[in-house]
Amino acid sequence: MSENAEYFGDPHRVALARRSADLWELLKDNPRFSYYGRPVGLCDPRDDAATILAAMARVQGAGVSQFFPTTEADGLFAELQGEGLTTDRHEQFLGGQEALRASQALLARRPLPSDLEIVAIDANTSRDLVARVAELCQSCDVSPVPGAAMRGVTRPGVCLAALDRKGEPVATGASFMSHHPASPRAAHAFWGMLATRSDRRGEGIALLLGAMAIDHMWRNHGARAFITGVRAGNASSRALCEKLAVLPTQWIYAWCMDPRSFGEQPVTK
Ligand X SMILES: CC(C)(COP(=O)(O)OP(=O)(O)OC[C@H]1O[C@@H](n2cnc3c(N)ncnc32)[C@H](O)[C@@H]1OP(=O)(O)O)[C@@H](O)C(=O)NCCC(=O)NCCS
Which residues in this chain contact ligand X in the complex, by CB under 6 A? 140-142, 171, 192, 194-196, 201-207, 230, 234-237, 239-240, 243
| ∠ CA 175-153-38, rounded to 5° | 55
Q: How far is the CB of 122 from ligand X (least distance, A)?
A: 22
- Rounded to a whole number of angstroms, the minimum distance from the CB of residue 125 to ligand X is 21
| 214 in Cβ contact with 103 (< 8 Å) | yes
Taking the complex as a whole, the smallest distance from the CB of residue 54 to ligand X amounts, in Å, to 26
Nearer to ligand X, 50 or 136 (CB): 136
Residues 6+ apart with CB under 8 A from 26: none
Residue 50 or 99: which CB sits closer to ligand X? 99
User: In this complex, which beta carbon is closest to ligand X, that of residue 165 or of residue 269?
Assistant: 165
Please check whether residue 194 is in contact with residue 209, taking contact to mean a CB–CB distance below 8 angstroms.
Answer: yes
- CB nearer to ligand X: pick between 50 and 195: 195
Question: Exposed (0-12), middle (13-18) or buried (19+): which is 136, by Cβ within 10 Å?
Answer: buried
* Residue number with CB closer to ligand X (29 or 141): 141
Closer to ligand X by Cβ: residue 1 or 235:
235
Residue 165: count of CB within 10 angstroms of its CB: 9
23 or 41: CB nearest ligand X = 41
Q: Considering the complex, what minimum distance in angstroms separates the CB of residue 197 from ligand X?
A: 8
β-bridge pairing 41-42 and 33-34: antiparallel
For the bound state, the minimum distance from the C-beta of residue 57 to ligand X, rounded and expressed in Å, comes to 22
Q: How far apart are CA 215 and CA 223, in angstroms?
A: 9
Q: Which is nearer to ligand X, 146 or 204 (CB)?
A: 204
SS3 218: helix
Give the nearest distance from C-beta 228 to ligand X in angstroms.
Answer: 6
Taking the complex as a whole, the smallest distance from the CB of residue 22 to ligand X amounts, in Å, to 26
| Helix (H) / strand (E) containing 41 | strand 41-42
CA–CA gap between residue 162 and residue 114 (Å, rounded)? 11
Q: Report the distance separating Cα 156 and Cα 256, nearest Å.
A: 26
Q: How far are the Cα atoms of 54, 64, 76, 89, 262 from residue 265, in angstroms, in the given order?
A: 16, 20, 21, 21, 9
Contact (Cβ atoms closer than 8 angstroms) between residue 73 and residue 254: yes
Query: Cβ 162 to ligand X, closest distance in Å?
Result: 9
